[in-house]
Each structure stands twice: as C-alpha cells, then as structure tokens.
A and B are shown apart, each in its own frame.
Chain A
Amino acid sequence: MAYTTFNRQINDQMKEPMFFGNPVNVSRYDQQKYGIFEKLIEKQLSFFWRPEEVDVSKDRIDYQNLPEHEKHIFISNLKYQTLLDSVQGRSPNVAFLPIVSLPELETWIETWAFSETIHSRSYTHIVRNISAEPHKVFDDIMLNEKILQRAEDVTRYYDALIDGINLYQRCGEGTHTINGETETISLYELKRRLYLCVMSVNVLEAIRFYVSFACSFAFAERELMEGNAKIIRLIARDEALHLTGTQHMLNIMAAGDDDPQMAQIAKECEEEAYAIFRKAAEQEKDWAEFLFKDGSMIGLNKDILCQYVEYITNSRMQAIGLKAIFPTTQNPIPWINTWLVSDNVQVAPQEAEISSYLVGQIDNEVDGADFGDFDL
C-alpha cells in the first residue's frame, strides 16, 4: 500500500472511497463522486484575499492606547490563532493527501490548507503593525504554557494519524519491529484515527477559533482595532467554509455508503467524539479565564465568553448529528453574527478601509482627460 504520486492502476474514480482507496492519478473534475468538494473549492477561490490589502495602520494607535489587560487579551488571542493556523496550514496536506482517493477531495484539501497559509501571513501583517518588536510576540508562542497546552490537543490526532500512515504505507498491516520497537497497525485502526482526526479538526475550526473571533469583534464594536477585525472577518468567512467541509466529510463517513467500515467506526467512536467536544469546550473556557485574568473588556467578560463557548459547541455538535451537551440555548453575544455575515465583509457599518494598492494606483493614474476619446 505504498503511496505513489501517479498511480498507474487504471481505476474508476467514481467508485473509490474518499480515503484509503487507490491514490489519485489523474486530477480530473469532469466527473465527481462528491460535487460538494468542487463547489467548496470554487467558493474558497472566490474568497481569495491578501492580508496586505487590508489597511491596519490605524490599529497601531488604538493598540497603544489600550489598557494593559486589554493588550493582553488582544495579543494572547493573536498568538493562539497563530498556533492554530500554523497547524492548519500544513496538517491537512501532510495527513490527508497520502490517503485521499478522490481528485475533487484532494484538491479541496490543498485549497483549504492554502487558505490557512493566508491566515498565518495575516497575523504577521497585524503584529508587525502594532509592535516594533514582532519577534517577541512570535517567540513567546513556543514558551507560553497556556498555548502549548492547547497545541497538545490540537495536534495529537493529526500526529497519530500521520504516524500510522507512515508505518502502514511502508510495511503494511501487521506487527512490525522498527528500530527495536514493536508497533502494530491495521487499516481499521487507521480509519479510526482518520475519523477522530477529522472530528478534532472540525472542533478546531468550528469552536476554538470563535473565542478569539468574539474578542476581536468586541474590540471592533467599540471602533477599536478595526483593521484587525476586517482581517478576522475574512478569516472567519474562510473558516465557515472549512468547517462545512469537515462536516460533509464526517457526515459522508457516518452514512456509510462511501465506506461501510467508516459508518461502523463513527458509531464506535461516538463516546470519543463527545469527549473531544467536551474537552475542547473546557479548554476554551480555561482560555477565557486566562484572557480575562487581569480584567474584562467592555461588552465581554469571562462568563459571557464561556456561555458563548457552550452555545457554539452545542450548535456544532448538532450539525454533525450529536446531541447538545450544555443547557445554554441562547447566544449571549448576538451582535457577533452581524460580523460574520458574508456580504457584509465588504460593507460593514464600522468599516476600516481596504487599501488595495493596485486599485489605488489605477485611481491615481486615471483622470478626466483619459476619457476624452470615449463615446458613451
């Protein structure tokens, strides 16, 4: 079952499962087993943006004027998001590409991961602007205990899957002795790791990000750090698409038509799925406590944010057919929704300017005389 970059086996791609069938040979989209992934690709491409296009220069003054405890909230969130997107910018590629069997899904995974690299670059854009010493912010990520604790759970499922794939593709199913250590791998176990991995990615994109989104927008509601909020809206728009992607994968797996074993695994892993959601919600509440340890911000405090974690956890769980685990049914910060509306991305009420350099150039160079010869 070794991986090959161009599988010579002539196969009917329409009959392959999403994962663990034949490696993809021809990247063709004239026929698609799951058209949804092609549609997600198109949508993601239509969302394309560059951090440099967003003017964040006003944020520098805002940031300097923030009280210390709000600076802590702002910068800590940015560090946490940097961690999450560092992981997301590479892991879908490394973990899923060696095992994917459908061209449209393969390309969706690549498109998805690419958009995460834009998110990563945008954090540098933001940090460079507000700090004269951006290296200090990034250096601290690897030393910050609160962030590292989260990194552990965010990466664990990816690493277990990648490790299993390496062994399986090298040695096949069975018990192998490698460098003096005995390891056992089966396809079934690999599928289990895959399912749990997709589940934990879903939690990452559907819950973990939203705590910092809420803080970013809470600043922007006060007309502070609006350049940052503009970027976060673009990121949130992408994330909504990513979580829709993982929800589709999970639901296709659970339905079983694609791979009957996956349906069985989805059933077996139900308890573990609940545990993944529960643990992530707990961790995000811990994080809220850390954020507000020196004081709340106007419009948002630890309790409200924790309630929001519960609310969004419930709604994400129901989306994949699990039951809500928290009693909360009301969104404690309904104002966040207006920041997440797609068509508002361009025309928000309190909007920071988009300074597209290209558009700017053209504007400057065109004056009335240029239109002299035009007949309208």
Chain B
Amino acid sequence: MPSVKISGGAVIDFDGSRRTLLDALEQQKLDVNFHCREGYCGACRCKLLQGEVRYLNEPLAFVRKGEFLPCCSIPLTDIDIEIP
C-alpha cells in the first residue's frame, strides 16, 4: 500500500478505498484546488517531490516536470508531494 507524504509532514496511506489521489487527500480534509476533476483543466496541479504516480486517464492539462494532477492519478510507489 503506497504512502503519501504531504509537504514533508503528514503521511497517509493510499489504501485503494478512494478512486484518485485527490479523493484520498480530500478525505483527510486537505484543501486541494480543483475544477474539472477529469484531468483537462490543470487546477489541481501539485508538486511531486519523490516517487511515481500512474494516470487513470491520460490528462489533457499541461503538466510541468516535477508536477502531477491528483484528480486523475494514483500512486505507483510511495510518494512525497506538496500542495500549493
């Protein structure tokens, strides 16, 4: 079960009970920006400091190096992220 470390602090487990990383973060009452929740607007962009994610559908939004879209992805490995 991959773990998600947020801004060097809290660690949560991605246990598969949530469909996406965004859902999992929200379940922890973390504020992440979002609009479309479908990978095409880019509003949910977060930093991926360590580890790898897998996209459920290939996102249309532009993703810069070192960033990822939590609304349409799940962790592949343990990850370190930063929410802007």
Residue A1 interfacial (CB < 8 Å): no
Judged by DSSP, the binding face of B is loop
Asked whether A331 lies within 8 Å of B33 as measured between CB atoms, the reply is yes
Q: Is the CB of A244 within 8 A of B33?
A: no
List residues of chain B with CB within 8 A of the CB of A319: 42, 45, 62
Report whether A43 and B60 are in contact in the complex, using a CB–CB cutoff of 8 Å. yes
User: Out of A329, A330, A342, which one reaches B40, CB within 8 Å?
Assistant: A342
B38 to A343, Cβ gap below 8 A? yes
CB distance from A120 to the nearest CB of B (A): 22
Whether a CB of chain A sits under 8 angstroms from the CB of B29 is: no
Q: Is B10 an interface residue, CB under 8 A from the partner?
A: no
Question: What 0/1 pattern do residues 60 to 84 of B give for CB contact below 8 A with A?
Answer: 1110100000000000000000001
Judge whether A297 is part of the interface by a CB distance below 8 angstroms. Answer: no
Question: How far does the Cβ of B70 sit from chain A's closest Cβ, in whole Å?
Answer: 14
Contact (Cβ within 8 A) A247 B36:
no
Residues 31-72 of chain B, each 1 if its beta carbon lies under 8 Å from chain A, else 0:
101111110111101000000000000101110100000000
Interfacial chain B residues near A124, Cβ < 8 Å? none
Q: Which of B35, B40, B62 contacts A337 (CB 8 A)?
A: B35
Which residues of chain A come closer than 8 Å to B60, judged between CB atoms? 36, 39-40, 43, 241, 244
Q: Do the beta carbons of B62 and A247 come within 8 Å of each other?
A: yes
Find chain A residues with CB under 8 A from B33 CB.
Answer: 315, 331, 337
**B84 to chain A: which residues have CB within 8 Å?**
315, 318, 329
Q: How many residue pairs, one in A and one in B, have C-beta atoms under 8 Å apart?
A: 64
Partner of A244, one of B37, B41, B64: B41
B59 to chain A, nearest CB (A): 9
Knowing A244-B61, A318-B84, the reply to whether A341 touches B42 (Cβ < 8 A) is no
- A251-B38 contact given A318-B84, A319-B45, CB 8 Å threshold: no
Residue of A nearest to B41 (CB): A240
Note all chain A residues with C-beta closer than 8 A to B43. Answer: 240, 315, 337, 340
Closest to A237 in B: B36
* Chain B residue nearest to A36 in the complex (CB): B60
A244 adjacent to B35 (CB under 8 Å): no
Cβ of A174 within 8 Å of any chain B Cβ, yes or no, is: no
**Hey, what's the 0/1 contact readout for A303-325 against B, CB within 8 Å counting as 1?**
00000000000010011010000
28 contacts between A and B (CB under 8 A): A36-B60, A39-B58, A43-B60, A236-B35, A240-B35, A240-B40, A240-B41, A240-B43, A243-B42, A244-B62, A247-B42, A247-B61, A247-B62, A251-B62, A315-B33, A315-B43, A319-B62, A321-B64, A329-B84, A331-B31, A334-B31, A337-B33, A337-B35, A340-B36, A340-B43, A341-B37, A342-B37, A343-B38
Q: Given contacts A247-B62, A337-B35, list 18 more A-B pairs with CB under 8 A.
A: A237-B36, A241-B40, A241-B60, A243-B42, A244-B60, A244-B62, A247-B61, A251-B64, A315-B33, A315-B84, A319-B62, A330-B31, A331-B31, A331-B33, A341-B36, A342-B36, A342-B37, A343-B37
Closest 4 CB pairs of A and B: A240-B41, A340-B35, A342-B36, A342-B38
**A interface residues with partner B (beta carbon < 8 Å):** 36, 39-40, 43, 236-237, 240-241, 243-244, 247-248, 251, 315, 318-319, 321, 329-331, 334, 337, 340-343
